[in-house]
Amino acid sequence: MTHSAHRRTAAAAALALAGLLTAAVPAATAAAAPAAAPAAAPSAATSPAALAAPDIPLANVKAHLSELQSIATANGGNRAHGRPGYKASIDHVKAKLDAAGFTTTVQQFTSSGATGYNLIADWPGGDANQVLMAGAHLDSVGSGPGINDNGSGSAGVLETALAVSRAQLQPAKHLRFAWWGAEELGLVGSKYYVNNLPAADRSKISGYLNFDMIGSPNPGYFVYDDDPTIEQTFKDYYAGLGVATEIETEGDGRSDHASFKNVGIPVGGLFTGASRTKSSAQAQKWGGTAGQAFDRCYHSSCDTTANINDTAIDRNSDAIAHAIWTLSAGTTVPGDVYETTADVAVPDNGAAVTSSVTVSGRSGNAPTTLRVGVDIKHTWRGDLVVDLLAPDGTSYRLKNSSSNDSADNVVATYTVNASSESANGTWKLRVQDVASQDTGYIDSWRLTF
Ligand code: TRP
Ligand code: ZN
Ligand code: CA
């Protein structure tokens, strides 16, 4: 926090920036991150070509399943409504979404005398009058960890949401992801959500996609026979793989899509089978074992990470992403990125420091969904208060300090409504360390217009 430290960091920033600058760019202007979007002509990056959905990494989905398994193991072997493993599951998923730039809401309800929780995650942007939702129930039954039912759908939806963030997707529709509580008690959480949604908001939901049991160990590939557009989107995905599908018949209305369907919202979804037996015709087209249940561990203690078919959960996670990208008309590449990778030291329990990114050549104001990507290395991130400063000095709080957040680093994308700020000018990231002992530095940060 001393004057000399401040001068040292400023000099370091100038040196680091010098390596990034092209001749035409004024001092302290940042380089654009994507190779296709040089700082001097960032508008070249905005083109409304339809984007193909990314491949969802199986390893990431399986890592989520392992984490849910660990939560169950640490909490009496289940993640059921009203038990500590359920709330721990909610907290875990929420933290990942918060760090990825989602606006999350935990909705509480009461069922069977216990508090239940739905987690709702909105991706900023898109048309608020056309909301595309995807969801999965996050609760297990009391008798097991619920990894196929329904860690599988929960992990597939979570990794798709994280892929939306990695792509910084800017879809035409507004995207909303949901993890429901107390499905196993009779679709309680999703019913609560729908019943408490004002009629005006209900009518804005253009579709709800449900994923409940999508990694059964002896899998079938079942598509819900509901909204024709949603159904066809999933069938197209499977046709592209050359894998046959069948209509889901093992209990229509037995999962959270029913809560939406009952109020007239178009629904669809995927399913790999529960306790019903795979026929020999099904085993011929899909492989696996005829005469055996799709999921022999359905609602039992053996529904662990061993109860997952990798191919099935991989295909279905990719199918979720395909449907989200296709049905939201996800059209644009991220937009224009202004970044600095100049390191700025953050002094321990000291004065605030800033790092600058200069934006030029744009017209008008900044967007309502200005994305601020932050990468701060620090040994105790709870020490840090982080703000974005607009060119006119207006500050936007990105992160408060917290006495109990001992994790390392702040690696997150925040969304700021900057529509009252002019786009051009020098934007600053301001970071202050407000508690002693742990220190760090701003490694890089970026604005995406
Ligand atoms: N969670 C559901 C349940 O326990 C699983 C299920 C059974 C299901 N049949 C289904 C999910 C049909 C979707 C479609 O009842
Ligand atoms: Zn179930
Ligand atoms: Ca500190």
The DSSP-derived string for 364-398 is SBPPTTEEEEEEEEES-GGGEEEEEE-TT--EEEE
Distance of CA 40 to the CA centre of its chain: 31
We find that the CATH architecture of domain 22-42+334-448 is Sandwich (2.60)
Q: Is residue 340 within 6 Å of ligand 1 at its C-beta?
A: no
Distance of CA 322 to the CA centre of its chain: 15
Query: Does the annotation mark 183 as catalytic?
Result: yes
Pairing of strands 440-448, 410-416: unpaired
Neighbours of 246 (CB within 10 A): 16
Domain with CATH 3.40.630.10 in the chain: 58-327
Select from 362, 343, 361 the least CA-distant residue to 353: 343
Burial label for 164, CB within 10 Å (0-12, 13-18, 19+), is buried
Select from 347, 435, 344 the least CA-distant residue to 383: 435
Q: Is residue 237 within 6 Å of ligand 1 at its C-beta?
A: no
Give the pLDDT of residue 3: 29
Q: Is residue 325 within 6 Å of ligand 1 at its C-beta?
A: no
Give the pLDDT of residue 241: 95
CA 353 to ligand 1 centroid distance, Å: 53
For residue 372, the cross-strand partners are: 414, 447
- Alpha carbons within 13 angstroms on the beta-carbon side of residue 231 total 12
CA 38 to ligand 2 centroid distance, Å: 50
Q: Is residue 253 within 6 Å of ligand 1 at its C-beta?
A: no
The Cα 88–Cα 79 span in angstroms is 8
DSSP category for residue 429: E
pTM of the model: 0.72
Q: Is residue 213 within 6 Å of ligand 1 at its C-beta?
A: yes
For residue 150, the cross-strand partners are: none
Residue keyed to tokens 């992990």: 155
**Cβ(328)–Cβ(171) below 8 Å:** yes
Distance of CA 177 to the CA centre of its chain: 8
**Cβ(115)–Cβ(82) below 8 Å:** yes
Taking each helix axis from N to C end, the angle separating 153-167 and 310-327, rounded to the nearest 10 degrees, works out to 50
* Nearest atom within ligand 1 for CA of residue 224: 14
The tens place of each residue's pLDDT in the chain, 449 residues long, gives 222 222 222 333 333 333 332 222 222 333 333 333 333 233 333 333 456 899 999 999 999 999 999 999 999 999 999 999 999 999 999 999 999 999 999 999 999 999 999 999 999 999 999 999 999 999 999 999 999 999 999 999 999 999 999 998 989 999 999 999 999 999 999 999 999 999 999 999 999 999 999 999 999 999 999 999 999 999 999 999 999 999 999 987 899 999 999 999 999 999 999 999 999 999 999 999 999 999 999 999 999 999 999 999 999 999 999 999 999 985 445 578 899 999 999 999 999 999 999 999 999 999 988 999 999 999 999 999 999 999 999 999 999 999 888 989 998 888 899 999 999 999 999 999 999 999 999 999 999 88
Residue nearest to atom 6 of ligand 1 (CA): 254
Neighbours of 198 (CB within 10 A): 8
Domain with CATH 2.60.120.260 in the chain: 22-42+334-448
Catalytic residue among 67, 159, 183, 248: 183
**Homologous superfamily of domain range 58-327:** Zn peptidases (3.40.630.10)
**Cβ(62)–Cβ(310) below 8 Å:** yes
Residue keyed to tokens 């991989």: 314
The Cα 400–Cα 385 span in angstroms is 5
Per DSSP, the three-state class of 217 is coil
Q: Is residue 254 within 6 Å of ligand 1 at its C-beta?
A: yes
CA 307 to ligand 1 centroid distance, Å: 16
CA 446 to ligand 3 centroid distance, Å: 24
Which string of DSSP letters, residue by residue, matches 35-93? TTS-TT-GGGG---PPPPPPPPPHHHHHHHHHHHHHHHHTTTT--BTTSHHHHHHHHHH
Cis-peptide into 150, omega within 30 deg: yes
Handedness of CA 18, 24, 28, 34 (dihedral sign): negative
The Cα 351–Cα 235 span in angstroms is 58
The Cα 395–Cα 420 span in angstroms is 12
Angle at 421 between CA 168 and CA 176, to 5 degrees: 30
Closest ligand to 303 CA? 2
**Cβ(161)–Cβ(98) below 8 Å:** no
**Cβ(37)–Cβ(339) below 8 Å:** no
